[in-house]
Structure 1
Amino acid sequence: MSFLSYRTPPKVADKSALELERKTISESSFYIGNNWLRKNRFGVWEARLSGKPFEIGAKYGILAKELIQQQEIVFVNDFSKAVPNKLKQFFLKHLIGLFNRKLDKHIPIEYLLEIYGGSFANSREFNSIAPAYLRVLNYHAAHDIGHALNDYQLVGCTSFSVKGSKTKDGQIISGRNFDFYSGDEFAKTKVISFFEPEQGHKFASLSWPGFSGVVSGMNVEGLTVTMNAAKSTLPRSSKTPISLLGRELLQYASNIEEAIALANKRDVFVSETIMVNSAKDNATVLIEKAPKQSDSFLPQQDVVVCANHFQSDRFASSDLNVENIEQSDSIYRFNKMKQLLNESEEVSSLRAADILRDRNGTNGEELGNGNPRAINQLIAHHSIIFQPGKLKMWISTEPWQIGEYLCYDLNKVFNLQEVPTNDIDEASYLIPADPFIKTKEYHDFITFRNLKFKINDFIYGFSKSAIDEHEEITFVNSNPNYYEAYMILGMYFKKLKQYEKAKVYFHQSLDRIVSSKEEEEKIKALIKKCK
């Protein structure tokens, strides 16, 4: 990767943190002083990290070295599969290097130091791409670059906030699905990290190993941050990665006014909505950031919904936003979420989980499992529920948001005086797994998913393994209401130049509920190519 224009890593006077020794309690529990990393009974890693910026990064790297190295292997492999052509890989790497050559100028020095400290854990295996520090720095902008190149195809999230008449005590309950999908292996290892930085507020963040940014989190002031991608123009140069802006808000804001002021100080790569809930204000704001402008939407209602389009005065009627609403599935999920919340007399954490797990369309229409129109698309990296007034947060466990939701009380976790040897989540607040996981429909979906991967590998040239007639029938029968099952088989037979059979499947796809107008036009274009 071309990083000739990059500056060297930040200067660090004291690197003694790199010499700290990790102590082992078990094969899944480690500590350095009062900092620790442990795997809980549901397979989620829990970490507590404190100190100066470089020290936090170094400790995280030492504690989670194996996890960080494995996550990078997965990330690089996913990139190689997404861009299999070596020449295109070479071009894209150099393009990203050129694009991000001034990335460090848009990131606060404390986060550069933390990233640098953590980068010592990364393997030398990928030094041919770039030195570890520069690789990890770029990984923190990968969400933004991927969003720009794919128009948030990988990150179609839905979130909500309710209060007042919609909750038992009038205080906020908020939930979100982080529908970011970059492969099963990438989502396999999750870490809930409890940060105690030298400056600013303590906070908890749910993401993946070695990540300093925030996509979902809450601080001890009862301020929460989640983000939803919006349609964006292609950026011309690097700015502040949105996840590091999210980190800054959690670390330094205690109310909505402070969050807006901090967000307005930063320019970003791409368009994004940051949902901020504040226990102090008992209010929710949607901070809408675009590469050249920003605005804030502060609804006065008890119900606030966010999908993947803008709602503020500045952006709501813009050509790009109107096109997004017309072409994508965002407005459908937005309306479905509103319907679910309006039908709920009172939203508890349990009801919030039910809403985030909903797989049907508006008025209960059958979408098929996995449809991007659904609140639960069965792809979520994670799902999360906040009760900021009580400093409680629930995080999903595998698979997606179908498993149990674990509850953490931030006051209790940050008050731990010793390295924990018992569970640190609040067992009495655990939300049970979705009953869907025990049904035939769920197991049929797993069958569908496995066959989908096999067929797509054939379509896109990753495999020469074709499917037989039995697999063809099984694929459709395992998810009969989902348009994509028929679209994929249409693409499969088009690849085999069996055009008449391909057209039959494409038309059957259009007979079902297609996720968006954009997707519908894609299917119609494929039919025209079947000649």
Structure 2
Amino acid sequence: MAVHEIVLVGEAYERGFTHGRKFARLIHEAVREYCKFDASLNERVGAFRQNMTAYLADIFPELLEELRGIGDGAGIEFNDILSLNFFPGPTNLPIYCTNIVLADTSDGPIHGKTSDIGSDYKYYLLQRTSPAEGGEEFLSVGWVGTIWSEVGINSAGLAMGQSSAPVMPGQDGTGIPALVMPRPVLQHCKSTEEAVEFMVRFQMAGKGINVALLDQTGHGVVVEKAFDRQAVREADEGAVFCSNHFVEDGMQGTIPLKIEGIEENSIGRYELLTQVLGNRERVALKGWDYMAELLRIHATEERPGICQHVPPYLTSWYAYIQLPKKREMWICDGPPCQGDFVNYTL
């Protein structure tokens, strides 16, 4: 098991074609596995796909051009590539993660994250992207065949990581899909403040997200976002974190995530970090090593852990540590308790 890697340069379609051609076999496999919906979902997925596509065409047409390139490079119909990129919206793909922001440590601002997932670990792809149409160069992790950004850092020193969150009712698919939303943030924003102001301009479709943002100045927040609502939690005493539920009052009234026990697991992880990060002296004293310690905390009989080993959907197959000042992303292939972190630098 290892995260796949690719370097993407040039215009959007060119980048997509390179991506699709290199990973054609895996993309075909992912489409077969995740884009064959039962009759009860076909109409809903089709409607969501149509409305998401129309929304993106108005605001980020270059993203659709990149998807068209992926499809052509892989030899896959455009609608199937759209379904692969958009299906987490109407179907609630189980990607359940923890994000931690430490705004001021001995190693500077640090962001840490786990990917608590299932067998889809085999599709994870690290993209180093230099967009010819403008914006920042960035490192970003998503799936092969997609423009997803689950975690990433850009050349301006802005780091980002997202966690799945509950669904806001009353949607028809008009908006940006959850895993796509952070991608234009990495390309077009230089700071946490810019990213928050950028995100509030756009509506989301499907499930919600918690997005941890941290820039090189140490400004760290968690953005809670779903459908037409957005709330922001600032770092408190230098730390802010999220799991898979919303905390802010304005983000309540959602439809719970589908996996049995995920809400209790999410609340347990959040309460654990609330307790552990109360000791600011220890947080400030340690930097990278302390973040690695946090990501390796295991469950006890009383509570869940940050490093999870709960099949089929709650295993921490990957972990990440990002240093905005150094433009570094460190990736651990495998649960962070078992593997070493490998450095990637912009």
Q: TM-score range by the shorter chain?
A: 0.7 to 0.9
| Residue matched to 2:131 | 197
| Residue matched to 2:72 | 120
| Among 158, 170, 174, the residue aligned to 2:111 | 174
Q: SS of the counterpart of 1:104?
A: helix
Asked if the contact 1:309–1:321 (Cα under 8 Å) also holds between the matched residues in 2, the reply is no
CA distance in 1, matches of 2:306, 2:182: 23
CA distance in 2, matches of 1:357, 1:205: 22
The answer to whether residue 189 in structure 2 is matched with residue 253 in structure 1 is yes
| Among 96, 116, 127, the residue aligned to 1:156 | 96
Asked if the contact 2:212–2:222 (Cα under 8 Å) also holds between the matched residues in 1, the reply is yes
Per-residue deviation, 1:289: 1.2
Asked if the contact 2:17–2:69 (Cα under 8 Å) also holds between the matched residues in 1, the reply is yes
Asked if the contact 2:99–2:112 (Cα under 8 Å) also holds between the matched residues in 1, the reply is yes
Q: SS of the counterpart of 1:265?
A: coil
The Cα offsets for residues 82-125 of structure 1, whole Å up to 9 and x where unpaired, read as xxxxxxx133223311333222122110000000011013455x
Q: AA paired with 2:306?
A: I
Relative to structure 1, the CA distance from residue 321 to residue 122 in structure 2 (aligned partners, 3 Å threshold; closer, same or farther) is: closer
| Among 53, 68, 87, the residue aligned to 1:142 | 87
Q: AA paired with 2:62?
A: E
Asked if the contact 1:162–1:347 (Cα under 8 Å) also holds between the matched residues in 2, the reply is no
Q: SS of the counterpart of 1:358?
A: coil
| Residue matched to 1:48 | 7
Asked if the contact 1:177–1:380 (Cα under 8 Å) also holds between the matched residues in 2, the reply is yes
Asked if the contact 2:103–2:235 (Cα under 8 Å) also holds between the matched residues in 1, the reply is no
Relative to structure 1, the CA distance from residue 290 to residue 73 in structure 2 (aligned partners, 3 Å threshold; closer, same or farther) is: closer
| Residue matched to 1:278 | 215
The answer to whether residue 314 in structure 2 is matched with residue 377 in structure 1 is no
Q: SS of the counterpart of 2:46?
A: helix
How many equivalent pairs are there? 330
| Residue matched to 2:122 | 188
Asked if the contact 2:164–2:244 (Cα under 8 Å) also holds between the matched residues in 1, the reply is yes
The Cα offsets for residues 346-367 of structure 1, whole Å up to 9 and x where unpaired, read as 3332332222121124xxxx36
Relative to structure 1, the CA distance from residue 327 to residue 389 in structure 2 (aligned partners, 3 Å threshold; closer, same or farther) is: closer
The answer to whether residue 293 in structure 2 is matched with residue 354 in structure 1 is yes
CA distance in 1, matches of 2:78, 2:2: 28
Relative to structure 1, the CA distance from residue 327 to residue 208 in structure 2 (aligned partners, 3 Å threshold; closer, same or farther) is: closer
| Residue matched to 2:155 | 220
CA distance in 2, matches of 1:275, 1:197: 23
The Cα offsets for residues 179-237 of structure 1, whole Å up to 9 and x where unpaired, read as 133xx2x2124321100001100000112212212111110111011112222234531
CA distance in 2, matches of 1:313, 1:91: 33
| Residue matched to 2:312 | none
Relative to structure 1, the CA distance from residue 341 to residue 402 in structure 2 (aligned partners, 3 Å threshold; closer, same or farther) is: farther
Asked if the contact 2:221–2:233 (Cα under 8 Å) also holds between the matched residues in 1, the reply is yes
Relative to structure 1, the CA distance from residue 236 to residue 255 in structure 2 (aligned partners, 3 Å threshold; closer, same or farther) is: same
The answer to whether residue 198 in structure 2 is matched with residue 287 in structure 1 is no
What TM-score do the two structures reach when normalised by structure 1? 0.57
Relative to structure 1, the CA distance from residue 68 to residue 155 in structure 2 (aligned partners, 3 Å threshold; closer, same or farther) is: closer
| Residue matched to 1:423 | none
Percent identical: 22
CA distance in 2, matches of 1:321, 1:168: 40
**Which structure's residues are more often helix, by fraction?**
1
Per-residue deviation, 1:275: 1.1
CA distance in 2, matches of 1:114, 1:323: 30
The Cα offsets for residues 364-388 of structure 1, whole Å up to 9 and x where unpaired, read as xx36xxx8x2212221342111111
Q: AA paired with 1:276?
A: L
The answer to whether residue 323 in structure 2 is matched with residue 387 in structure 1 is yes
Higher-RCO chain (CA-CA 8 Å, sequence separation at least 6): 2
| Among 145, 148, 158, the residue aligned to 1:210 | 145
| Residue matched to 1:83 | none
Relative to structure 1, the CA distance from residue 49 to residue 319 in structure 2 (aligned partners, 3 Å threshold; closer, same or farther) is: closer
> Which stretches in structure 1 are left out of the alignment for 5+ residues?
1-41, 81-88, 125-131, 411-531
The answer to whether residue 167 in structure 2 is matched with residue 232 in structure 1 is yes
The answer to whether residue 27 in structure 2 is matched with residue 65 in structure 1 is no
CA distance in 2, matches of 1:262, 1:401: 36
Asked if the contact 2:13–2:65 (Cα under 8 Å) also holds between the matched residues in 1, the reply is yes
Per-residue deviation, 1:45: 2.2
User: What is the root-mean-square deviation of aligned Cα atoms in Å?
Assistant: 2.7
Asked if the contact 2:112–2:319 (Cα under 8 Å) also holds between the matched residues in 1, the reply is yes
